[in-house]
Amino acid sequence: MRFDPAIAAHQSFTSAEKSCELGDDLDEAREAEATFSATAGDEAKAAYRTLQAIGEQHPEATSFQEFLIYITWQQVTEETLPVYFRKGLDLCDRYLKGAREAARDQIQVNQIRELRASFCRGLGLVHEEEAEEEYDRDAFKGGD
């Protein structure tokens, strides 16, 4: 990856705070984010679930949705389970669909695309363009 998902998560969360995207849920999100960032294991998983639940209530909160994608990658690195890869892929798809419908920060969009590819690889999924590139690399290049 050409960026640090933990730093990107922090930046996106700060943007979500400044833009007041979460309204009355901001204090709960701050508390859960602090727990997620400072702990590991069951306590961090519970905070992660709380943050995801808040995100479900605010699908239009662009910066917070970016944050959720980044922390899902952090969760994957903590506990490599298909459920987290699938959640990350779903979050990326929802975000990128919205990116087509609205003007989004291109740096964020590119980073989310990169994470999406990583979530896909983690699930053993290959996109058509990746399959074509692999075919081109492996294709017989003339000769006998």
- In the chain the domains, ranked by start, together with CATH numbers, are 5-138 (1.25.40)
Spell out the per-residue pLDDT of the chain, length 144, in tens.
899 999 999 999 999 999 999 999 999 999 999 999 999 999 999 999 999 999 999 999 999 999 999 999 999 999 999 999 999 999 999 999 987 767 788 999 999 999 999 999 999 997 644 544 443 444 444 444
Is residue 104 within 8 A of residue 98, CB to CB? The reply is yes
DSSP 2-47: -S-HHHHHHHHHHHHHHHTTTGGGHHHHHHHHHHHHH--HHHHHHH
Note the pTM of the prediction, 2 decimals.
0.86
